[in-house]
Amino acid sequence: MTHNDEHSSFDHSADDAGDDAAYAAALDRLLLLTVLLNDDMHRGLQDDGLTPSRTSLLWTLRRLGPCPQKAIADAMEISPRTVTGLVDGLVATGFVTREPSPADRRAVLVTFTPKGTAAVESLLEQQRGFGRQLFAAMPRDRFAGLVAGLDDVLGTLHALGLRKPF
């Protein structure tokens, strides 16, 4: 890509074209990182008998505590029907249980089993280890620069209306 159109300008637009190319290169890096991190997470996941979506549900459940499926659906921004399916799978594999809700006989409370709790703790620990692997060898000022840049980008995305719900 990038039969880049610098040139064709005279005094200062070279700056603009150079910026554009630099932006493209930076965005390429971000997207590549996106793909690599995603792939790595998903690869590690299935070792535990967990699929990406089910893991995401577990993660959400950890944040919410025992709760009805509707709350999970809202938090994950997926349909209640999909939550039913994911919880089905997690119940079948022993990560959560459906407990009757004391307050509402229509609802169930999705609740961690000990295995589910252990799985989430394990994921947390893996993430800590991964953070160490990624950043421990990085010079401190470069690390600080990275975090500042990421914050800037996240702030920009937030301003553009792209945000995570919570």
> Which residues form the interface with DNA (CB under 7 A)?
51-54, 68-71, 73, 77-87, 89, 98, 101, 103-108
Q: How far apart are CA 76 and CA 73, in angstroms?
A: 5
Among DNA, a second copy, none, residue 134 binds (CB under 5-8 Å by kind): a second copy
CB of 162 vs a second copy, minimal distance in Å: 5
* Closest distance of CB 29 from DNA, Å: 22
Which letter, b or e, does each residue of 42-69 get, where b requires 16 or more Cβ atoms within 10 Å of its Cβ? eeebeebebbebbbbbbebbeeeeebbb
Q: How far apart are CA 99 and CA 110, in angstroms?
A: 6
Q: Shortest distance, CB of residue 119 to DNA, whole angstroms? A: 14
Q: Which of 81, 79, 31, 83 is nearest to 56 (CA)?
A: 83
Q: How far is the CB of 47 from DNA (least distance, A)?
A: 14
Number of residues that bind a second copy (CB under 8 A): 58
Q: Which is nearer to a second copy, 94 or 154 (CB)?
A: 154
End-to-end Cα, the chain, rounded Å? 38
110: left (phi over 0), alpha (psi -120 to 50) or beta: beta
13 versus 34: smaller Cβ distance to a second copy: 34
Q: How many residues does the chain have?
A: 166
Q: Which residues bind a second copy (CB under 8 A)?
A: 1-4, 19-20, 22-27, 29-41, 124-125, 127-138, 142-154, 156-157, 160, 162-164
